Structure 1
Amino acid sequence: MTDRPARRTQEQRRAETERRVLDAAMALIARSGSRAVTLAEVGEAAGYSRGIVYHHFGSRERLLEAVVDQAQRFDIPGYQGDGLDHLVRIIEAYLRNVVRRTPSARAFLQLWGEAIAAAPVLAPLFARRDADFRQLLADVVRQGVADGSVRPDANPAAAAVLIVGLVRGTGLQLIAEPPVRDVPALIQEAARSVRGAFAVTP
């Protein structure tokens, strides 16, 4: 007598369907952007029908919102007592995620480019998420000022804008066509630039 595999719950089946749909959507967007992507195309790429995609997400706009949420995720290092080091490790983690050139990273930067071009669905989604990312970075800068690792005259809000520009601009270049062969050296230069800009001077 052999043990039968446990039957998946409805919640597990739903989560699996949503994961496959999001993976398919990110792959399609990474390849050609979001403008031409339809629910039917996503459903077919995921191995389902358009109806399944509609059932789980309700609309193309809701699907794109879920893609933005999923594609933006990367493992953010924790604070270990040194705010400047924390800031640098966040930047390194962000750029390493881009360098992996996964469909999610490519899809995120494709969508961000469309949002910059004022895509009506994407622009407000990215406005909110970019504000959250800037807030995170500003809080890290404040923590660095408090623990003495970041120069006390640093402006957290301005620093956050500068850092987002650094990682997004570098990320766009890396995702399109890496401009340098030694990508780890590029990440190291980004880290060195941030340390030089915000470190406490002797």
Structure 2
Amino acid sequence: MPTHDDPATGTTARTTTARATTARATAPQGAQPRRTQAERRAHAEAALIAAAARLIAEHGSTGVTLARVGEEAGFSRGLATHYFGSKAALLARLQEEALAEAMAAAAPERSGAGAAEELCRFARGVLEGVRNPTDLGRAFVVLGAEALAGTSELTPAVAELDARTRAWVVDVLGQTDVIGHGVADGELRAGVGAGVDAGAFAFAFVGLLKGLVVQAAAAPEAFDVATATVEAERWIRLALVAD
């Protein structure tokens, strides 16, 4: 049976299993049960991703190694390799987690308030993240910039994440019940068939937000989040308002 480091102690899996058996036999009644292997793995992966995000946010991805990530997370040098296999796989997972964080913060659920309001709310959430960036969010921006410069092996992954965000935008525009709320009052174009090219709009929408976030990262002292948010919402509504 192969062994590997336990994320919490650095002991081997065989030793950990033996200790867990002894602990269950001697633990007092009502004591909290030990975490399962799946729970320990999930905890370790989350800690490794958080460590990678901190390092990349501060130093970029070029000098970050799996061994360094393991050390930063407080585990053995080999644990990140054991769990992720390669640096590219770890970075791709980090990108996924960062996108999920951004989506959850910006648009946790559909409100039914209309396509324009859904998209404005998303824009507000993304730009609010600029005001109080997390390590994951900062790392996401760094990796995106590296991919844009062609210096990252994650360029295809970044393109895939952009495509998924555009698909989400198209989906919002394609929901007749969401769009219909505004159409009833003559405020919005009557969906994709009445002048709004959903695919083209999605490209422009993602480009607008990514451009603003990159500018904020490049010159945070000159970037006014409130002004950028107002202008982003104005553009979204103008693009969807009926002629």
Q: TM-score, length-normalised on structure 1?
A: 0.90
Offset at residue 197 of structure 1 (A):
2.3
Letter of the structure 2 residue corresponding to residue 153 of structure 1: G
- Equivalent position of 1:6 in the other structure: 33
SS in structure 1 of the partner of residue 62 of structure 2? coil
Q: Distance in 2 between matches of 1:180 and 1:197?
A: 27
Deviations 1:156-195 (A, max 9, x none): 1111111111111111122333254752332122112211
Q: Distance in 2 between matches of 1:153 and 1:7?
A: 59
Q: Which runs of 5+ in 1 are unaligned?
A: none
Matches within 5 A, 1:1-202: 3-73=30-100, 74=102, 75=104, 76=107, 77-119=109-151, 121-143=153-175, 146-147=179-180, 148=183, 150-151=188-189, 152-180=194-222, 182-201=224-243
Deviations 1:101-135 (A, max 9, x none): 11111100100111112235211111111111111
Give RMSD over aligned pairs: 2.1
Whether the 8 Å CA contact 1:71–1:105 is kept in 2: the answer is yes
Q: Which runs of 5+ in 2 are unaligned?
A: 1-27
Quick one: percent identity of the two aligned structures? 36
Higher relative contact order (CA 8 A, sep 6+): 1
Q: Choose 145-154 or 161-170, whichever is displaced more.
A: 145-154
Offset at residue 196 of structure 1 (A):
2.0
Displaced runs of 4 or more, over 6 A: none
Larger radius of gyration: 2
| Number of residues of Structure 1 aligned to a counterpart in Structure 2 | 201
Letter of the structure 1 residue corresponding to residue 208 of structure 2: L
